Amino acid sequence: MTDAKPLLATLKGERQERPPIWFMRQAGRYLPEYRELRAEKGGFLDLVHDSDAAAEVTLQPIRRFAFDGAILFSDILVIPMALGQKLWFEAGEGPRLAPKMTDAAQVGALDYDPAALTPVYGTITRVKAALPGNVTFLGFAGSPWTIATYMIAGQGSREQAEARRLAYADPELMQTLVDHIVSATIEYLLAQIAAGVEAVQLFDSWAGSLSPAQFERWVIAPTAHIVAELRARAPHVPIIGFPKGAGGKLAAYAAETGVDAIGLDETVDPLWANANLPADLPVQGNLDPLVLIAGGTTLNNAIDRILRAFADRPHIFNLGHGIQQDTPIDHVHAALARIRGETK
């Protein structure tokens, strides 16, 4: 029943008097309870692979802030791991993957092992049993282009140069890699849905690095394939697309992928988005995470501008990207009170 779940109702096209709220990366290092649990359990992947601990992390921001959505605590790079790449995290440096997917032999050796993701489904089962009845449970996966950039470079990179070079130099090899990711992602999201998530988000964190033609091939086309398969096999589950950095290509993404809602990063003018995206399309976003750190009048003005821009359409209030680890918790409380109309 969507009437008891405002976020799910919004994803299905219903405008709310006040937008439902969740924040990307809402379960994470800015919370003292998260830092305490992580110190107890060890590294990041130790948390992800511990279903009890990952469920606890997922629930922490719901207890503290009463968000309308709970986002599964996991990582986008579990898909390369399930495809056969070794995944680990370097302290202070981020994820590493090996071997790099740079030739046909390496890509051809990829083989999806669904059993590698069993702990994720255990997390979902535990969270589902503990969530308040009005909270929508969100699953997620990385979009194929973003996942491919990590698999090719072996780590994150700001310009995604290695992946972009490969896409130009050997588009057939890139297509084979993307096809592997697409197939695994479809099965992974369907398994999340079967375990209990009610909506899913596709994170394309590096979509903004591509030219228009490359964006069509490596962002829009594989996303549309995933959306079509999910819609055929789980038609009741809304899909949010988040192509960070897409800018002026957002209209094409919205029209051609078939997503149910579109996430906007902080660089998108909400007035432009409201004028250029379909009037009935739910949007999500798009407060700058750094404004949340600044707080005060600056934060209030930024919130009010977003609320005004999206007042006449289905809108989920969120950040334009993940919450920063040095975000003051008092600022989060202040933002939520402002969005909910509890302060002026």
Q: Specify the DSSP class assigned to residue 198.
A: S
- Number of domains making up the chain: 1
Distance of CA 97 to the CA centre of its chain: 20
pLDDT of residue 1: 42
Q: Residue 150: in which H helix or E strand, if any?
A: helix 144-153
Compute the distance between CA of residue 116 and CA of residue 229 in angstroms, rounded to an integer.
22
pLDDT of amino acid 93 = 79
- For 330, counting Cβ atoms within 10 Å of its Cβ (0-12 exposed, 13-18 middle, 19+ buried), the class is exposed
Q: Flag whether 344 is in a domain.
A: no
pLDDT at 3: 58
CATH label of the domain that carries residue 283: 3.20.20.210
Residues with Cβ within 8 Å of 175's Cβ and at least 6 positions away in sequence, in order, are none
Domain of 120? 2-339
Show the 3-state SS of 291-309.
HHHHCHHHHHHHHHHHHHH
In a domain, 259, yes or no: yes
What residues in the chain have per-residue pLDDT under 50?
A: 1-2
3-state class percentages of the chain: helix first, strand second, coil last, to nearest 5: 55, 15, 35
Residue 251 lies in a domain: yes
Residue 298 belongs to some domain of the structure:
yes
What would the DSSP string read from start to end of 83-95?
HT-EEEEETTTEE
How long a stretch of residues is the chain?
344
* 135 in a structural domain: yes
Domain assignment present for residue 113? The answer is yes
List 284's β-bridge partners, or say none.
263, 316
Q: Which residues are catalytic?
A: 25, 29, 38, 75, 150
